[in-house]
Structure 1
Amino acid sequence: MAELSAVEARTLLARAFVQDPLMVWFFPDDEVRPHACAVMFGLFAEHYLAVGRVDVVRRDHPVAVAMWQRPGQEDGGAAEPEQLPTLGGLMTAVMGAGRAAEIGGAMAVLGELRPAEPHAYLHLLGVDPACRGEGLGGRLLDEGVAAARGEGLVACLDTMNPANVPFYEAHGLSVRHEVRLAGDGPTVWSMATG
């Protein structure tokens, strides 16, 4: 695993996810979205770099990253109560209290879709848009799935981007649930290894 800073991770992930249907739903303003994504992904990066599994492909800078949650870890991005910002506090500050509560309520369904058996959850897999199509995301995904399998775990993820479903299927995951998020939210494909 190559070294990666939270700043590098948040920048890469913001660029990778700026047009993702979930991020467009979260942050509809095109000009604000890259910055809001970077702040949110910065919290996740800090968390996973401290306690998760983070795989990265570097050239002169990081071009692909995968962040996995393992059994027994806190939910990704959950700060200790005395550490600021918390994910909920950040979302409220960026979206406003009403919209943050609406989105938080809609997203709560994701936990219910995860496999009951012990699992490794792929929270984030992002590839620099200039490097897509080079197999970097697939390489990181295969490494993480193999590591989960080696630990006797199911590998799982949620994607809100329909273009990602065939990619994940080609790497051994299958759709277990397809759910439309409440309100005007996107569809979620909850996927896992067999």
Structure 2
Amino acid sequence: MARMPMTKIPTAATIDDAPLISRTLARAFDDDPMMRWLFTGDASREAGLGRYFTTVFTRQYVHHGVCERTDAAAAFWVPPEAQAKAVPDAETIQELQNILGDRAPLFRDAVETAAQHTPQEPHWYLAVIGVDPAAQGQGHGAALLRSGLDKADAAGLPAYLESSKPSNLPFYEHFGFTVRGELRLPENGPVLWAMWREPRCPAGA
């Protein structure tokens, strides 16, 4: 039986998509420098990342963000009016600490370091975007990024993200992002590149 082709049309993600999204993102972030810094065991990384992404998706972003997926990728955006609500509550923090174990303090320090450099002006924040490596280069990530940026542009707002993977920077730059700064995470952690994109006029405006 022939395999059904994977669709790369962005659709709104629901909580029922959590298993697909967590598997996709666990694979996507397996070689991410920040995630390798937090999840150090090669054998256990995929399972740990799966639990991590399940937690942040089902407890935070699906309720307070704009979450979209294709058959092989997912993206979580947070518009400005939701950013105060999209922070983890006490139960979520406890769950993340259980997942991260002795790396939990590093995670907390990384979040606090990044938060100190978050732009104060209203913006759309790209919290997470990832593509299953088996489908990279097929346009899934571009479709999700373009969908979110269209929403930011329609609102007349800039967009912001952080990336710890230098090979991803040209991809974001292709869509109009520029590097705004470099943040070195504590305890010999990786560099985070803070990237910013000014809004563009929607087509036909």
| TM-score by shorter chain over 0.5 | yes
Change (3 A) 1:30 1:157: same
Cα separation, partners in 2 of 1:24 and 1:165, compared to 1, 3 Å: same
Corresponding residue of 2:168: 164
Q: 1:75 to 1:174 in 2, by over 3 A?
A: farther
Residues 1:26 and 2:38 are matched in the alignment: yes
Aligned length: 184
Runs of 4+ in 1 over 3 A off after TM superposition: 74-77, 94-97
Helix, strand or coil at the partner of 2:179 = strand
Deviations 1:106-160 (A, max 9, x none): 3311112222210111011111111101121112111111111111221110000
How far is the alpha carbon of 1:102 from its aligned partner?
Answer: 3.1
Q: Which has the larger radius of gyration?
A: 2
Instruction: Summarize the alignment of residues 1-194 of structure 1 with structure 2, pairs less than 5 Å apart.
Output: 1-4=11-14, 5-46=17-58, 47-57=60-70, 62-73=71-82, 74=84, 76=86, 78-79=88-89, 81=90, 84=91, 86=92, 88-97=93-102, 99-194=103-198
Q: What is the aligned-residue identity percentage?
A: 35
TM-score, structure 1 length as denominator? Answer: 0.87
Note the aligned Cα RMSD (angstroms).
1.7
Unaligned segments of structure 1, at least 5 residues? none
Structure 2 portions without partners, runs of 5+: 1-10, 199-205
Paired amino acid for 1:147: K
Looking at structure 2, the residues matched to 29 and 178 of structure 1 have their Cα atoms a distance apart, in angstroms, of 27
Q: Match of 2:54, SS?
A: helix
